[in-house]
Structure 1
Amino acid sequence: MAINIKNQIFTLHTKNSTYQMKVDEQNMLIHTYYGNRTDDTDCSYLIRMADRGFSGNIPGTDRERVYSLDFLPQEFPVYGDGDYRVDCLKADLGSGVQDGIFFFDSYQVRDGKYNIPGLPAFFSSEKSEGKTLEIVLKDAVEEVYVHLLYGVFEELDIITRAAVVENRTEGDIQISRIMSACLDLGMGKYDLIHFYGKHAGERQMERNSLPHGITELRSTRGTSSHQHNPFVILADKDTTESTGECYSASFLYSGGFHAQAEVDQFNQTRLVIGIDDYDFSWKLKKGESFSTPEVCLTYSADGFSKLSQTLHQAIVSNLIRSCWKDRVRPILVNNWEATYFDFNKDNLIAIAKEAAELNLDMLVLDDGWFGKRDDDFSGLGDWFVNEKKLCGTLSELVKEVHDMGLSFGLWFEPEMISEDSDLYRAHPDWALVIPGRQPIRSRSQLVLDMSREDVTDYLTERICDIVEKADIQYIKWDMNRSLMAAYSAKLPRDRQGELRHRYVLGLYKVLEAVTQRFPELLLEGCSGGGGRFDAGMLYYCPQIWCSDNTDAIERLRIQYGTSFGYPMSSVSAHVSVCPNHQNHRVTPFKTRGICAMQGTFGYELDLSKMTDEEKKMAGEQIAFFKEHGRLFQFGDYYRLTSPFENRDYTVWEYAAQDGSEACMSVVYTDMYANAASEIVKWKGLDPKKVYQMQLDGEDAGNFSGAALMHAGILLPLPEQNYDAFQIYLKAE
């Protein structure tokens, strides 16, 4: 059974993990265990009660002094309950002071997975239905309830969490902080693995030993951000890719977030994660409730590879809703780095003709096709086709491209507005600008107030109208700035703290409307590259532009970090021109193709200006990817080396889950005279099978799976700077 309950002990089982909590003698819900799968034994025997100096006692326990929430592991710690560690809820329940003590009230178990209205969440499917445990807590004094939601997917090996605060009092309550989940891991020394970054350098993996005190990661930018990612891992000191225990928390939210890991005075580790509370408040009137975004918890006893593969499979099967979730994505060419704003119908058609000859699948028209948009100072918000620039209607251009056998995609940046636009002149109050103050601009643009229904209605109408009339198959949904000094003309003064969350809800509302209207439409998320690469966006967009940095060598680190928490089928990656437009590096065309095949694979250059040799190589890349696309996008992914630890080469592998085929990619980042031999071992093969090996398409012999996994192979030596190789295996 996925959920077992006995004597108010709640034990949740997945295929390889057990999560347990109980209602103790004081009617508090405490956490007792999360780790490798065990039985239903009450694990609270691991908790030692003692008089802890300066640790407060809840009412009724102050004479013995051995009961304090300041050291007990909790499921949902609340500010004011005597626990001085980081908490999940901080609210004024009506007294004017932020406090509360929440006791167990009731529970229920339901078949199927709960949903959260207006927010992304894992869902039930025929293969993985899931079960729901709902535990209700009630404040000791006020009629305020917290509903803790647990989704258990036994076969997927994940547990999801969310919380709902319900106000049944006669007045208002004010929430100033609400996290989605708390994970108390007890005694033990853990490393925190997180993924920091910047624009054009996202998700750089960093591993640090947790010190005593609070370590926090957050985005205050209104998006999940380039700077920090809402996915974190806690791991034992000796955990590697293939051995050791680790836990991950993935926050399904595309706005600001806050993750805190605290090692307390008794060497216990607590992790909380939720909506960023930097500028957050939420008023709940009588009868209203507030739902948090969801967190996905994953555990592995077999290192990081197993953790990532579990998440990859769960996200593809039960989070991404698009019909594209299990389809090999179209190989596209995007015109942005080929033309930027300086394009016309003739050069777009020239690129499309080359794309058709190379057997690509799609042409994507990026920024500049609408309004007065010849640079990034004007036009945003005016989602009407610039027919003068296109020398005709968009529908005519799309038809001409369709007639070549290509699909057509289009770039949008719906959440933004230019001051030099018809939309701003008509509706200046639609921009997030503080009255009487000069706005903070970024990329010379302002942000639309997505909390307003008239704004979301306008965007939905304009996007759907263009997609339908022009017959568009793909949208790249961009967002090229962060929120700052945001003010909504629609919200009252005492509710401005709700704006950022309402903004995200408005975004999701438009995405929901567009995807429901056009279920076959392929959406690609983007925010200046990977500034909004989170599990929440994957609910609507099965792929996300990984980074505005298209340099193959820098992408090694970016895509390596991304792979820990997100499936490679979601990682949009393209071959771009050299010298690279971001860092001016020159890399071989072959290497750029191999790095792009680590993700969805496409091109971002002027195909009509490629040399004959480049066209030949591009044709070979496209043919190889079309033959093995399912392996690259849905095979088990293995990080065989780390670009942060190995500065000489980076190696990764895709292996079919049935052991029928595998492909190893090798990219050299340095080279030496009289170089040493390097051996790398394969993963995920069938030891009993014999594999035929091809090195860059040439026969390289037959080897047993056992030999390849246990003895390994010699890596080929580089012959030029940034050389790369693909080694393909096919079982006989």
Structure 2
Amino acid sequence: MTSCERWTLRTEHTSYTVRLSPDGPWAELDAWGPLGVEDGPSALDWSRRTHFITPADAAPAEYLPQGQRPFTGAELVVGHSGDQRGVWWEFAGAEQDADGLRLAFTDDVAGLRTTLCYATVPGTDVVLRWTELTCTGDGELRLERLDSGAVTVPVADGARLTYLTGQWSQEFTHTQLHLRRGTFSMGSIQGVPGHAYAPWLAVQDAALPDDGTAPTYGIALEWSGNWHITAEAEPGGAVRVRAGRVPHEGAVVLQPGQTLATPRLACAFSPEGTDGLARVWHRYERHLGGDRLHRTRKVLYNSWEATGFDVHAADQLELAKVAADIGAEVFVVDDGWFTGRADDTGGLGDWYPDPAEFPRGFGRFVDDVRTLGLGFGLWVEPEAISPNSRLHAEHPDWVYRVEDRPGRLVRNQLLLDLGRTDVQDFVIGTFDRLLTGYPIEYLKWDMNRPPTERGRPGAGPADRLDLDAGHVAGYLRVLDHLRTAHPHVTVEGCAGGGGRIEHATLARTDVVWPSDNTAPLDRLAIQHGFLHAHAPHVMSSWVTDSPGVFDPRPRSLAFRFVLAMCGVLGIGADLRSWNADQRAEAARWIARYKEIRDVVHHGEVRLLGTPKDPTCGVQYTEAHSSRTVVAGFSTGVLDGAPLVPGRPARLRLRGLDPAAAYRDEDTGTHYSGAHLLHYGLPFAWTADHDARLVVLTRDQARTGPLDPAHHP
């Protein structure tokens, strides 16, 4: 191999090395893994013997256009100069500093400058990648494919792909696939990431065991609109993953002098399997939270499952009083509080409190809630509009539509074109009016229908409008306004559940709603998948009375609380129907949650088993402190007595000091770290005891052997 230019980016524990290929004008991955992995011959180097393909097709290229990589998948497809397609570029220079790396390539014939951008994220093991495309010629360019980047992983027996699948009410299902050869692709053209797939993927060598020791590579796309992730197992022992946005109109037009930046692609590595990769993502999302990370996530009560659209001041106050009595801290009035909203056929767009439902005035109602010691919040769906609303009568042109074609109703509503500045201004004005007119401290932003007839008549040919990117930009502009103009307001992101959860949203909201499904065993599976990709401090989770949808087996109130306490605790049940014992139990759980929520939200997370196991759990270990919180769950059969003497189920903990001593705060039982790591924490399940929250405190004073009498 001839000598070539080479650049290394270093994170806290990993390095990412890129080189200029000796075979042509492109950048390719040289090494990615733990610090020092770049010292030695590249595991991605290849023999340079190609048959029926080009060297560019065989290379572990970071980014290549169709002209230079004609057969095995290009990240960039460009039309220019009439009917010409393709780019053949030359290397134009590199810039590297403490913050990152920029590699430039130019094609003077096409009139295109492409800059591959890299940045490290302080305090994390994440490398951000994106691409900047500049039209340098006299004619416009049509970007038919404009991915953010590609990564290549060496594998011996194909790749084990871990990804998150589902549908509405079954989001974030942990799914795996062994890709030996061929192509795997997932994505969404619904204008949001969608419920079917999350824009997140983990890659391992399938020849290695899936036991937490396999080196694991991950990517996540920061984009709130249409997207794709495509993995291809290539000849020669590698899998190459490409990811990026998908233009709804088929292409993006780039005018002379314009520069377009693709969405950022976050690349992460862990030597500790998908569980270790999850901790890398959690740390990154804490970085995204910025100063708001340390804001206390308050216990909320949401009225939807109790009252639906029947929002009346008296009923809401009755719920608020009970919520305050059991320890809730914020009361959120869900759908139905505004004019014309007796059901889902009207009202959207006319965001004024319904005077008929608040006869003493909405301001007085909010004050009454706050007098109970509760903060106040509202549900909103600002992108939606009802056809019979006043807003639609005044601004029918604000709706996505195709000229001379009927508008399709989804959930009896249409969708506002949030790419329009005037629509953005209306939404911002609506928020400003509500948030300055009333002491509101919580907003639940929902979105319940994707764009269908996506057009903007009068603005030019549809194929020249980048409507998907426009909507994303408008959505983010409104969220940015909320954070700057109303920094005291907690914002919850929701799209019919988990339909719009990715890093652009997570950087601008405080919590997100993973699913509308709150049934206990269903939700256990949803949260198990969610925590592989996202941090617990953003995971809103409610205790409700909902029966199971996919797994209808009943579980106790304790199970529901312990499960909801694995993230940001909320209550959504009809508290008026709970008896005194249930309310007292709820108050005890809420008080306990307030004691340990800092550990849950900021601790190191380890997923113990899976919901398919008879016993599973989640472990949270407080950094630089003494507490470990373990949520344990029984997913097996609870009725019937064992026919033979039984032993407690055990969950082997991880990440503890084997020489240290740990004490269960509730029972006083002492364990050595070695015992908890080797044998595990015991759980004795019965029909009345199907979940348990354990808080272990490290005993700094104890260094010798434990008293045998204290062993379980």
Sort the TM-score into its range (normalised by shorter chain).
over 0.9
Matched, 1:649 2:615: yes
The aligned counterpart of 1:615 is 583
Shift of 1:466: 0.5
- Specify which of 149, 171, 179 is matched with residue 117 of structure 2: 149
2-structure distance, mates of 1:42, 1:279: 45
- Specify which of 315, 335, 353 is matched with residue 367 of structure 1: 335
The aligned counterpart of 1:29 is 27
Secondary structure in 2 aligned to 1:390? coil
Shift of 1:393: 2.9
Deviations 1:572-598, CA, capped at 9 Å, x for gaps: 000002546998764311111011011
Matched, 1:290 2:260: yes
Matched, 1:708 2:676: yes
2-structure distance, mates of 1:605, 1:168: 59
The aligned counterpart of 1:17 is 14
Moved more, 136-145 or 285-294: 136-145
Shift of 1:21: 1.5
Deviations 1:383-428, CA, capped at 9 Å, x for gaps: 1221221223322211111121110011110011110101111111
Q: Which amino acid aligns with 2:431?
A: I
Matched, 1:8 2:5: yes
Q: Structure 1 residues 578 and 267 mapped into 2: Cα distance closer, same or farther (>3 Å)?
A: closer
Shift of 1:277: 4.4
Shift of 1:352: 1.2
1-structure distance, mates of 2:92, 2:365: 62
In the alignment, is the contact (CA less than 8 A) between 2:542 and 2:564 conserved in 1?
yes
User: Where does 1:68-147 land on structure 2 (aligned, <5 Å)?
Assistant: 68-111=55-98, 131-139=99-107, 141-147=109-115
Matched, 1:191 2:160: yes
2-structure distance, mates of 1:44, 1:577: 56
- Specify which of 171, 174, 192 is matched with residue 205 of structure 1: 174
In the alignment, is the contact (CA less than 8 A) between 1:183 and 1:272 conserved in 2?
yes
Matched, 1:434 2:402: yes
- Specify which of 183, 191, 213 is matched with residue 243 of structure 1: 213
- Specify which of 664, 667, 673 is matched with residue 693 of structure 1: 664
In the alignment, is the contact (CA less than 8 A) between 1:259 and 1:274 conserved in 2?
yes
Q: Structure 1 residues 469 and 233 mapped into 2: Cα distance closer, same or farther (>3 Å)?
A: same
2-structure distance, mates of 1:523, 1:449: 22
1-structure distance, mates of 2:268, 2:546: 40
Secondary structure in 2 aligned to 1:598? coil
The aligned counterpart of 1:64 is none
Which sections of structure 1, spanning at least 5 residues, go unmatched? 1-5, 57-67, 112-130
Shift of 1:472: 0.6
The aligned counterpart of 1:161 is 129
1-structure distance, mates of 2:179, 2:31: 20
Q: Structure 1 residues 440 and 86 mapped into 2: Cα distance closer, same or farther (>3 Å)?
A: farther
Which sections of structure 2, spanning at least 5 residues, go unmatched? 700-712
Q: Which amino acid aligns with 2:45?
A: I
In the alignment, is the contact (CA less than 8 A) between 1:77 and 1:83 conserved in 2?
no
Deviations 1:133-175, CA, capped at 9 Å, x for gaps: 1111112633311111101135311101111100111111111
Secondary structure in 2 aligned to 1:356? helix
- Specify which of 338, 363, 378 is matched with residue 410 of structure 1: 378
The aligned counterpart of 1:218 is 187
- Specify which of 541, 549, 561 is matched with residue 593 of structure 1: 561
In the alignment, is the contact (CA less than 8 A) between 1:316 and 1:325 conserved in 2?
yes
In the alignment, is the contact (CA less than 8 A) between 1:588 and 1:723 conserved in 2?
yes
Q: Which amino acid aligns with 1:104?
A: F
The aligned counterpart of 2:705 is none
Q: Percent identity?
A: 26
Shift of 1:719: 2.4
1-structure distance, mates of 2:283, 2:211: 17
The aligned counterpart of 2:708 is none
In the alignment, is the contact (CA less than 8 A) between 2:111 and 2:135 conserved in 1?
yes
In the alignment, is the contact (CA less than 8 A) between 1:73 and 1:186 conserved in 2?
no
In the alignment, is the contact (CA less than 8 A) between 1:551 and 1:585 conserved in 2?
no
User: Where does 1:393-408 land on structure 2 (aligned, <5 Å)?
Assistant: 393-408=361-376
In the alignment, is the contact (CA less than 8 A) between 2:29 and 2:44 conserved in 1?
no
The aligned counterpart of 2:703 is none
Q: Structure 1 residues 725 and 46 mapped into 2: Cα distance closer, same or farther (>3 Å)?
A: closer
In the alignment, is the contact (CA less than 8 A) between 1:241 and 1:304 conserved in 2?
no
Matched, 1:524 2:470: no
Deviations 1:9-61, CA, capped at 9 Å, x for gaps: 111122322211212343332222222321654745852343422124xxxxx
Secondary structure in 2 aligned to 1:389? coil
Secondary structure in 1 aligned to 2:289? coil
The aligned counterpart of 2:594 is 626
In the alignment, is the contact (CA less than 8 A) between 2:544 and 2:571 conserved in 1?
yes
The aligned counterpart of 1:275 is 245
In the alignment, is the contact (CA less than 8 A) between 1:78 and 1:89 conserved in 2?
yes
Q: Structure 1 residues 51 and 628 mapped into 2: Cα distance closer, same or farther (>3 Å)?
A: closer
Q: TM-score, normalised by structure 2?
A: 0.93
The aligned counterpart of 2:655 is 684
Deviations 1:84-110, CA, capped at 9 Å, x for gaps: 122211111334222012222112124
Q: Structure 1 residues 581 and 616 mapped into 2: Cα distance closer, same or farther (>3 Å)?
A: farther
1-structure distance, mates of 2:460, 2:237: 45
The aligned counterpart of 1:258 is 228
1-structure distance, mates of 2:551, 2:311: 23
In the alignment, is the contact (CA less than 8 A) between 2:9 and 2:100 conserved in 1?
no
Secondary structure in 2 aligned to 1:363? strand
Shift of 1:465: 0.8
1-structure distance, mates of 2:319, 2:203: 47
Q: Structure 1 residues 241 and 497 mapped into 2: Cα distance closer, same or farther (>3 Å)?
A: farther
Q: Structure 1 residues 557 and 295 mapped into 2: Cα distance closer, same or farther (>3 Å)?
A: same
Q: Structure 1 residues 46 and 685 mapped into 2: Cα distance closer, same or farther (>3 Å)?
A: closer
Secondary structure in 2 aligned to 1:601? strand
- Specify which of 282, 286, 298 is matched with residue 330 of structure 1: 298
Q: Structure 1 residues 359 and 82 mapped into 2: Cα distance closer, same or farther (>3 Å)?
A: closer
Shift of 1:446: 0.8
Secondary structure in 2 aligned to 1:691? strand
2-structure distance, mates of 1:360, 1:149: 46
Q: TM-score, normalised by structure 1?
A: 0.91
2-structure distance, mates of 1:328, 1:287: 46
Matched, 1:54 2:52: yes
Shift of 1:485: 2.8
In the alignment, is the contact (CA less than 8 A) between 2:113 and 2:133 conserved in 1?
yes
The aligned counterpart of 2:697 is 730
2-structure distance, mates of 1:153, 1:172: 35
In the alignment, is the contact (CA less than 8 A) between 1:550 and 1:582 conserved in 2?
no
In the alignment, is the contact (CA less than 8 A) between 1:512 and 1:540 conserved in 2?
yes
1-structure distance, mates of 2:462, 2:576: 57
Deviations 1:547-581, CA, capped at 9 Å, x for gaps: 10011110111000001110011110000025469
Q: Which amino acid aligns with 2:182?
A: G
